[in-house]
Structure 1
Amino acid sequence: MNECYVPRTHQAEIERNLRRFSVLVCHRRFGKTVLCVNRLVECAANSARPDWRGAYIAPLYRQAKAVVWDILKHHCRMRGESGVKFHEGELRADFANGARIRLFGANNPDSLRGLYLDGVVFDEVAQMPYRVWSEVVRPALSDRRGWAVFIGTPRGRNALYRLWNMARNDPDWFAAMYRASETGVLDPGELDAARREMSPEEFDQEFECSFSAAVQGAYFGRLVAEAEKQGRICALPHDPDLPVHTAWDLGMSDSTAIWFVQMGPGGECRVIDYYEAQGMGLDHYVRELQAREYAYGRHIAPHDIRVRELGTGKSRLEVARSLGIRFDVCPNIPVQDGINAVRSLLPRCWFDEKRCQAGLEALRHYRRSFNERAGDFGARPVHDWTSHAVDAFRYFAVGFRQQTDRPRPCRAENRYDPFERLAGRDDYAGRQRS
């Protein structure tokens, strides 16, 4: 691509075949980060646009800084781009021709909203929620017809898996997979040593690009896999004769997640729907519930819904009540006890495979933290994109179990509009309580 960067055989093959949208599934130490940084630098340096904009997105902002920032500066200097100015505070490189490359973290997708982009690299896509691409970045590329490259190593069936399958079935996309046993990048002796020292699942995932290898440290991965094997993840229609209960994880700047569940005979748990969004007020989620036209039963929320906000002096429990939703508050119990409650519930659960897809991915990938220094898994879960969906499901497993002796509202009592309060019907709250 330039005289300073000499691509390896497989890197050169990728450069010849890249399209507007490309997905590269590569083994560890393949050189995918260097490849993509150089593509960004090349496009920025040679752009005829005085306002060309490129972005490199890692799962976390601190990862972008730790892994990519020094590589970007190095390759800019190796090219002889002496006019590039580096802004450490913003992780931004400004080129003499007006082009810019900036580093971002997928954990703060709002920092990407409102931008226009000409070229984007997503690194370690398996650790990101898919909606960072679909809701935030894809629209930012539209008016400039910008390009995107997705790179990563598998970590179960998540955003990378979804994009990989999409690219393989779309002639306008480029998809390629590079396994360590095929590329010759790593010394065979080193691969043999890694195979001896790693579990088969770890080796297959990290070096042979296996999407089916188990996520290490996952709390519920085996249980979700069993549900899939037993046919409990399928097309699951809404039963109009059963009330729909909801369980929420409420966020302000973070995501809000909602599960929609019907309890069948014998304690069968029918999970028919899932919804998640970010940065929206409670009125938005009330409208989402209203749009589904379910006959609702109980609404379960986390214990911190009672906390009053400094700006309004009201709790979200009070705000929700004013919008027509009366929450049952989940008991505040240790996280591990809630995880055990989910483990007990999952063998009785059926999921709609399409409407619950995003929530199921979170359940599959929710995992314990790993202590690098101790070389062992920690006692607490990782807080990432999976947390909101799993926390909401945990509140259902705990909150519904705690109050199963409450009388269940019959469907006949719920045939009125469950959100009449939104339309100004003052008798809504009294009718819901009755």
Structure 2
Amino acid sequence: MSDLDPYEYLDEEPEEEATELHPGQSEVYSDLFIEQLMRFAVVVCSRGWGKSYLAAVAAVTAVFELLELDIKVPNKNVYIIAPTYDQVKDIYFPIIFYELGMENHVIKASKDTGRFLFPNNVELRLVSFEAVERLRGKGAYFVVGDEISSWKKGITPKEAWEGIIQPCIVTRWSEERRKKFGARSAGRALIISTPKGYNILYDMFHFQEKDSLWKSYHYDYHSSPFLDPAEIDRIRHTIDPIEFASEYLASFTESGNSVFYCFKRERNVDNTIADFHDTEDVHICIDFNVGLQCSSVFALRGKQMEFLDEFKGHPDTEQLAIAIATRYKGHKIYAYPDPSGKSRKTSAAVGRTDFSILESKGIRCLAHKKAPPIIDSVAAVNRMLYTAAGETHLRVHPRCEGTIKSLERTSWVDKNPDTAAIDKSAGEEHFSDGVRYGTEYLFPVLRGSKPVARGFAF
């Protein structure tokens, strides 16, 4: 093995001024490399916190760990992935090559290709998310996922992580292979980003709740020694509160993109909601869609909508109707479907509609003659979720994961509520579409063509 110490370079005296990790950066670095408390770190932080520098230091540390290994050990690769190639090379090449002194250790480096070649067949590569599929089938000892909330072009970030990046790590650098090759650690990753609403970063941030290999960190602008509080206070007066919350408070919840902006897990998700009693009526919101048939089941208790169950994945309305009637046999069942189902047939035989199929199984359908304006149904749901007086009339049991995610993640096209167009590109809207139909039918808000008001929720 090489006699290089992978941590020694941090203490070397550079020719000019030394750059040290600030307390937040040091916490993450120590947990990941010194204490090795986890293999996957998720850092959610504000602008100006020092994401790129920490990511570069982490990547270089991984390189030095690999330099300890025999030349014959395979897959000695470190990758830094950023949204675009211009970003990844313009930000990271100068930090790694000059500021961290890797010009003194590389055999060859190229900013144009984003490659750093080291002795012992060790390589550090700068990769754009646009080209992430080129990593398919390769091995990675360490990966940085930079600004994952801004990974846009090509496949989705979720597909990239689950189908390409994570397999690069766990299939080539498992704990067993670490022991075999004498490496300091099994494969690891650092996911570091400023949040932009509910997306894969939000999911990853919560992985620590069910997997001890993950650990998450949250740092707002107060944690950065690089930001002047007076400047931030000035910015506070020049941008809207939603953007400020995302960029400087590193907040997921106030993304400015959420249709159901009054939904908050802490007040709308409740595991104490009682199940249906034997004779209680069952109410179901349904979004017709072949192969999905997303349906949210609730109890109507006074003016409270309490969601207790959900259905998803039935191939057509016939199979959904059978499943509902079977599960809730002995109950009166009321459905609130998409009004277009009165005439539309979701993979049904000629002469049968979605409504007639449901009613043939004893499910009564309640719907307007035509769908209400989106802004009206959205306003109805938001009012049930939380009123200006601080009242909550819509709660969801944690078992209804699809309904919860849909209420959290349904977003406006181009982040613009004034268009009253819901973004359907990610397929997050199916459960919440059904909730809109049922809520607006039972508790309508007559708003005409006015845009959805934001007001108190922010």
Task: With the length of structure 1 as denominator, give the TM-score of the two structures.
Answer: 0.59
Q: Residues of 1 paired with 2:94 and 2:293: CA distance?
A: 41
RMSD across aligned C-alpha pairs, in angstroms? Answer: 5.6
- In the alignment, which residue of structure 1 is the partner of 2:436? 397
Q: Tell me the alpha carbon deviations over residues 341-361 of structure 1, each in whole angstroms, 9 at most, x when there is no partner.
A: 233245287443323345424
- In the alignment, which residue of structure 1 is the partner of 2:91? 71
For 1:31, the aligned partner's letter is G
C-alpha displacement of 1:250: 6.2
- In the alignment, which residue of structure 2 is the partner of 1:342? 378
Distance change in 2, residues 1:233/1:121 (3 Å): farther
Size of the aligned set, in residue pairs, is 364
1:118 aligns with 2:137: no
Q: Residues of 1 paired with 2:261 and 2:440: CA distance?
A: 22
C-alpha displacement of 1:191: 2.0
Q: Tell me the alpha carbon deviations over residues 254-288 of structure 1, each in whole angstroms, 9 at most, x when there is no partner.
A: xx6834334647796554345789xxx959xx79x
- Of residues 314, 327, 330, the one that matches 1:294 is 327
* Cα pair 1:45 1:99 within 8 Å, conserved: no
Q: Residues of 2 paired with 1:351 and 1:130: CA distance?
A: 30
* Cα pair 2:289 2:346 within 8 Å, conserved: no
C-alpha displacement of 1:31: 1.6
- Of residues 29, 37, 41, the one that matches 1:15 is 29
Residue pairs, 1:142-221, within 5 angstroms: 142-143=170-171, 144-145=173-174, 146-154=187-195, 160=201, 163-164=204-205, 167=208, 173-199=214-240, 202-210=243-251, 214-221=254-261
For 2:52, the aligned partner's letter is T
* Cα pair 1:52 1:118 within 8 Å, conserved: yes
Residue pairs, 1:313-352, within 5 angstroms: 317-318=346-347, 327=354, 337-345=373-381, 347=384, 350-352=394-396
C-alpha displacement of 1:337: 2.6
C-alpha displacement of 1:196: 2.9
Distance change in 2, residues 1:398/1:105 (3 Å): farther
1:242 aligns with 2:282: yes
- Of residues 397, 419, 427, the one that matches 1:388 is 427
1:83 aligns with 2:108: yes
Q: Residues of 1 paired with 2:132 and 2:402: CA distance?
A: 17
* Cα pair 1:56 1:121 within 8 Å, conserved: yes
Distance change in 2, residues 1:83/1:282 (3 Å): farther
C-alpha displacement of 1:147: 1.0
* Secondary structure of 1:120 counterpart: strand
Residue pairs, 1:274-285, within 5 angstroms: none
The answer for unaligned runs of 5 or more in structure 1 is: 308-315, 403-434
Distance change in 2, residues 1:219/1:379 (3 Å): same
For 1:180, the aligned partner's letter is Y
* Secondary structure of 2:49 counterpart: coil
* Cα pair 1:51 1:100 within 8 Å, conserved: no
The percent of aligned pairs where both chains have the same amino acid is 19
C-alpha displacement of 1:28: 1.0
* Cα pair 2:297 2:310 within 8 Å, conserved: no
Which 10-residue stretch deviates more, 256-265 or 387-396?
Answer: 256-265
- In the alignment, which residue of structure 2 is the partner of 1:31? 50
Q: Which has the higher strand share?
A: 1
Distance change in 2, residues 1:84/1:384 (3 Å): farther
The answer for unaligned runs of 5 or more in structure 2 is: 1-8, 175-186, 358-366, 386-392, 442-458
Distance change in 2, residues 1:22/1:124 (3 Å): same
Q: Residues of 1 paired with 2:310 and 2:134: CA distance?
A: 25
- In the alignment, which residue of structure 2 is the partner of 1:354? 398
Residue pairs, 1:121-132, within 5 angstroms: 121-124=144-147
Distance change in 2, residues 1:165/1:341 (3 Å): closer
* Cα pair 1:248 1:300 within 8 Å, conserved: yes
Q: Residues of 2 paired with 1:56 and 1:207: CA distance?
A: 24
Q: Residues of 1 paired with 2:107 and 2:418: CA distance?
A: 46
Distance change in 2, residues 1:115/1:379 (3 Å): farther
Q: Residues of 2 paired with 1:191 and 1:131: CA distance?
A: 33
- In the alignment, which residue of structure 2 is the partner of 1:414? none
Q: Residues of 2 paired with 1:114 and 1:353: CA distance?
A: 40
Q: Residues of 2 paired with 1:183 and 1:195: CA distance?
A: 16
Task: With the length of structure 2 as denominator, give the TM-score of the two structures.
Answer: 0.56
Distance change in 2, residues 1:275/1:82 (3 Å): farther
Q: Residues of 2 paired with 1:363 and 1:211: CA distance?
A: 14
Structure with larger Rg: 2
